[in-house]
Each structure stands twice: as structure tokens, then as C-alpha cells.
Amino acid sequence: MATIKDIANRLGISISTVSKGLNGASDISDDLRQLVLDTAVEMGYSTKRSKKVEYRKLCLFVTNVEYKTLDTFGYDIVLGFKQNAFKHKWDVTVVEIDVEFQEQNKYDTYLLQHGYCGAFILGLALHNPWMEQMKTTTMPTVLFDNFIDGNQNVGYLGTDSREGIHMAVEHLVNLGHKKIAFLNGSPGSLVSDERQEAFESAVKEYNITCNENMMAKGFFVADSAHYHVPGFLKEGATAIVCGNDLLAQGAIETCIKEGYRVPEDVSIIGFDNIPIAATTEPPLTTISQQRNELGRCAYTTLRSLINHVSISKTMLRPQLVERESTTVVSRELKK
Amino acid sequence: MATIKDIANRLGISISTVSKGLNGASDISDDLRQLVLDTAVEMGYSTKRSKKVEYRKLCLFVTNVEYKTLDTFGYDIVLGFKQNAFKHKWDVTVVEIDVEFQEQNKYDTYLLQHGYCGAFILGLALHNPWMEQMKTTTMPTVLFDNFIDGNQNVGYLGTDSREGIHMAVEHLVNLGHKKIAFLNGSPGSLVSDERQEAFESAVKEYNITCNENMMAKGFFVADSAHYHVPGFLKEGATAIVCGNDLLAQGAIETCIKEGYRVPEDVSIIGFDNIPIAATTEPPLTTISQQRNELGRCAYTTLRSLINHVSISKTMLRPQLVERESTTVVSRELKK
């Protein structure tokens, strides 16, 4: 691990100048500060100040995920992370990172510059600029729903998608469904890929009918259900597994608009169990993610990484929450 | 969750008799005690006494794994578990469970009978009697290197085997090896299956030569190396990846006995990094498992399960420890 002295030697400047660069003092030039930070990152320097209360700072980066109100997917995750971190006397800053932000800031440099000891990143997509930097970051980092191969500093946290999709299909099969469609989330996300694989393997295992016209990717937004669901219905699907609750909400709306009853004609099952799931009409059967616990576990995993215990994966089990949007298959479709 | 009263109602006996049955009092018959325990297990009763110090008891079951002395695989895992549990004021009992023990005791009944709030099981093989009971146990349980589908009470803990085998093959490929053999561990263990898959995928990824005669399963004991390694050498292997350090130690001995030098003629790489790895001749390059940390994480995972946070998987990263048993491939084998 490089020290401040190592950085000073490399750059041929004094230790106090390096300190100023790392601590954001105003009496050195911006160019020199950037050079100090870049060199510190390159040499694997990291702040060792986590025992002093004033420096116990963690960052929670959020992108592509709603989190500000109680009804959003991210709310409980952010809350759980903060609750557990605060309990252990860490300060947490939430920073929104759009693509432009990621392009303008190097990940390690940003953390170092702001004195963060580590970060939890919620919502990073495979094609986002920072994703590439995760392969080499020297900063303790926990990624929600993203796995990085071979970097000791990065841990994965998520819900077991395979088990969740399997539960959903098993639930429908037990209700007699044999033609089950799948409205997955966004392409280019690890969970969508995992869920696709899980769904296809469940189709084989339960010997149910599903062809390519009965599977689609829907970007996790309700609108895309309106686009895909009519096709599923034409194929004769009696049930639809959705990649999240918003897609399921859209699927219910579309079915009703097309003249089908939910659940009498078509059973619909969501994923996540966000608050709207209890208030859709009918209330939604869904695969629950324990989101507050995911946030709490993100903190414990991050703390382990900060303490040089390289946890590569922490996975929680999903749970089936049965409400009213699924029922036994009717003998024939209305249409 | 069933209460003592529920059990009493079911059996038509008094609450105090149920209490006696659960607490091992001597003034009821053995048959009645067994009936109370069996019924308690069937109804999903579990002790809720974890806040009273005298009842903070965890059990660490061990089978198929050596753990008593510093040079064994299990030593640091057991130690790490105890260290973390003791720190949080839990009492830990280590119980050895051979097949006979497992056949004579029902898992849930045993825990309930002895007042354990949960257990960590080290070494259970897929074919062991208790494995089947893991699918339905209502007791918080962490399994080392074994994954159970769909039971919220059971968590998996282990090192990422895929990443470990990948690291080993990459290390050898970087040294110029193109013919690499694989001496895997026991058949019928989850890690052996995972490592087999990982090795075969690495073979494809790096486009190296490996046929069926260059892969074998060796039961994790040195002796089996003597049986398989001569065949590998005949096939022209210049390197051998081994499923643990004991197999690697046996592989070194066999190579030397057959007139090959290690590492000049044949590079050998182990798995685990137990203490003997540093003292073999030559010292062994190996894939390290952080065993003390695994034990510590087993405790934190178990504590989460006891608190109804169903962690399904906690995985740690392996690390490559380079010593002297691997080197750049020589142009030709001596023979």
C-alpha cells in the first residue's frame, strides 16, 4: 500500500504538498491537485483514517433507480444501508451519478478526493462508464446486482434471482398453468440475464409451453407491458411472470384493456414487492426482495471489504407473497 | 410459529409436561420426551431464548474434515467461528457427526433437545444422511460449501471455487503451459462439481489441451495422487491443478518418484493454502481460502438467519499465493 511519502517521492514534491492535494487545500493549483490524486490512485493509496470519527465517511451512489419516496424500489435499500451505517457511527452521503457524472469523474479519484473509505453503488448498468473501472478499483466497493470477476475490493449484493423466478413459475404450475409468458426487465443488466436463464431452465424443468413470442424485455417500466402483453395473449398465455412490480402493474392494465380478467383469465406475478403491489387492482402476487435487509447487508459487506475480508458475494433469498392476481387456471381462455 | 401451548394442545398434555420434554427433565418417560420433541419439530417450534445469556448456545457440527490441529483444513474455520461467536457472547459446542450419528439423531430434534439456537455444519457431503433434512429444517443453519435450494433457514458459505480454479489456470497459462491436468477432490461434493465445471470452462477459454485422461477425482487425499499422476505425465501434462494442498503434496511426491523435477519439468498448484503448503519441497503455489474469515463469516451469516434475515449465500474470494512449485514451462519434458 502506497504512503503519502511514496507519492511525494514519485512526484518529487514535498509530503505537505501531497497532503494538500489529497485534502483539497486551496493553496495549490487545480492541476497539481489532480496530479496528486491521479498518482495516489495509480499507486493504490487509500485513506487509513477510518478510526477517526470525522473521517468515517461512506458514499452511496445511485443511478437508474428511484429511491426518494416510500413507494420506490430504492427507498428501503438506501434506508437499510444508512440505518446500519449510522448505528456503527459512519456518515453516509447519497450521490446521484448519471452517465455524464461518471464520464467527468474517475471513480477512485472521486472517493479519495472526498475522503470516502468505501462506497455502495445502487443501479449501475453493465454499459455505464464506471462499470469498467470496477474491474480495477482499489476502493472497497459493494455493487447491488452486479458481479465483478477477480477484484478483491469489490463485493456483490443481491437477491437470488434464479430462486425467485423458479418460485414464481412453480407457484403458477401448481395452479395448473401450462402456458406462461415472461416479461423480463432491461437488457444489459445482470439480473435480467440471470432471470432469463432461470426462466428458460424452469420452462424445461416443468415442461411448460413458452416460445420466443412469449418472452420479452421490458426496461422495468409499466409502459413496455402495453407493448408486449397483447402478443403474449395472442399466443394463448394464461399467466405472465414479470421482471418487477411496475411491469406487472402495466400487464394487469393491458390485460383488462384487452378484455381479459385478472386473475380469472390471466394470472400475473410481479417481482420486488414494492408498496404498490398491495394496492393494484387486484392486489399483486409477487416475489419479494427484502430490501431493507439488502441495504443492511450492503453495509456489513462493505465493512468487511474495508477490513480486508474480501466477500465476493452476499445473496438473500426471495419470498413468495401471495395476493390476488394469481389463481387456478381456467379451463379455457375467454377469447 | 408454534408455541409450547400449541404443542400441549396437539398432544393433549399439560404445558408443564411439554416444558419438561423440551428441557430434558428426568421425571417424564423417554418415549414421551421423544414424542414432545418430534411434535415440536413437526410444528416448527423453536426456542426463542437467545437473549438470555445462559441460552445463547450454538452448535458447530464437523464431519469429513480434520480440524483439531493447526495444520488441518478445518482448524482456522472452527477458530474463526468461535472467535466471532464468543465476541458476541454465544457459547459454541463442537460436535463430531459421523454417518452413524446422523442416522441416530434427527437434526432438528437434536438441536431442540440441546437448546441450540442454530448451527454451522462443516464438511457435510451430498450423500450424508443429514443433507436431506437440510431441505426442510426449521433451524437457522449455515452450511460450509453446500447450497440448499428454497429453504429460508439455511445459508451457504464458501470460497468462490470458480474464481479460484480460473486463477490457477490463468497463472499456469501465463507461465506458458498448454497441457494442464486436473486432479480434483471427492466426487459427490458441491465444490468438486463446481471446480470441475470451472476447470472445463477455463480449458475452453484459454484454448489449452486437456482430455479425459488428464482429469481425475482424488478424494482430497495425497495417496490418490500416486494413483492418477503417472497417467497425467504419460499424456504429456506440464502442469497439474490440484483440488487441495494434500493432493498437490502427493502430486509432487509422485512426480519426483517418476523422475520428473518440480517445477522445472512439471508445475503443480494446490488449493486451500493450509500450513503444509509452505513446507513442501518445493514450497507450494496454491489458491488460498481465507479460512479464519470463513469461520467468522459463518457466524455473521448464522446470526442473520437467527434474526430472520435469510442470507442464501456468502462467498469469499480466493487468492493466489505464489511459491516455488510453479514456473515457466520448459521447452520439452525431460522424458
DSSP string, A12-46: T--HHHHHHHHHT-TTS-HHHHHHHHHHHHHTT--
What ipTM was estimated for this complex?
0.77
For A293, nearest residue in chain B (alpha carbons): B309
> What per-residue confidence (pLDDT) applies to B76?
94
> Residue A121 has what pLDDT?
98
pLDDT average, residue stretch A48-55: 57
Q: pLDDT band at residue A104, thresholds of 50, 70 and 90? A: very high
What is the pTM assigned to this prediction?
Answer: 0.83
CATH homologous superfamily for B161-289? Answer: Response regulator (3.40.50.2300)
Rounded Cα distance, B195 and B165, in Å: 6
In the structure, what pLDDT confidence band is assigned to residue A106 with cuts at 50, 70 and 90?
very high
Question: Smallest Cα–Cα separation from B163: which of B135, B197, B136?
Answer: B197
Q: Name all contacts of A230-237 with Cβ < 8 Å and 24+ positions apart.
A: A230/A254, A230/A258, A232/A181, A232/A183, A233/A258, A233/A260, A233/A266, A233/A335, A235/A179, A235/A181, A235/A211, A236/A179, A236/A333, A237/A179, A237/A180, A237/A181, A237/A266
Q: Tell me, yes or no, if A83 comes closer than 8 A to chain B by beta carbon.
A: no
Q: What are the DSSP calls for A84-135, one per residue? A: HHHHTT-EEEEEE--HHHHHHS-HHHHHHHTT-SEEEEES--TTSHHHHHHT
- B165 and A CB contact within 8 Å: no
Q: How far apart are CA B75 and CA B71, in angstroms?
A: 7
What is the average per-residue pLDDT within A305-319? 94
Residue B300 contacts A, CB cutoff 8 Å = yes
For the domain with range B4-159+291-316, which CATH number is right: 3.40.1160.10, 3.40.120.10, 3.30.420.40, 3.40.50.2300? 3.40.50.2300
Alpha-carbon distance of B7 to B38, in angstroms, equals: 10
Neighbours of A292 (CB within 10 A): 18
Residue A103 CA: distances (Å) to CA of A107, A110, A130, B74: 9, 12, 8, 47
Q: Which residue did the predictor score with more confidence, A66 or B333?
A: A66
pLDDT of amino acid A219: 77
Q: B297–A309: do the CB atoms touch at under 8 Å?
A: yes
Per-residue confidence (pLDDT) for residue A47, from 0 to 100: 67
Evaluate if residue A189 carries a pLDDT over 70. yes
Whether the CA torsion B320, A157, B87, B161 is positive or negative: it is: negative
Spans of chain B below 70 pLDDT: 1, 47-54, 331-335
B306-316 residue pLDDT tens? 999 999 999 99
Q: What pLDDT was estimated at residue B189?
A: 83
Residue in chain A nearest B309 by alpha carbon: A293
pLDDT of residue B334: 45
- Assess B319–A contact: CB distance below 8 Å, yes or no: yes
Q: Residues of A with CB below 8 A from B290's CB? A: 309-310
The per-residue b/e assignment along A56-76, b for 16 or more CB within 10 angstroms, e otherwise, is: bbbbbbbbbbebeeeebbbbb
Give the per-residue pLDDT at A54.
57
A257: contact with B, CB 8 A cutoff: no
Give φ, ψ of B170 to 5 degrees: -60, -40
Q: Where are the domains of chain B?
A: 4-159+291-316, 161-289
Helix axes A15-23, A4-11, angle to 10 degrees: 110
**Contact yes or no for B252/B265 (Cβ under 8 A):** no
More confident residue, A58 or A51: A58
Identical topology for domains B4-159+291-316 and B161-289: yes
pLDDT at residue A335, rounded to an integer:
46
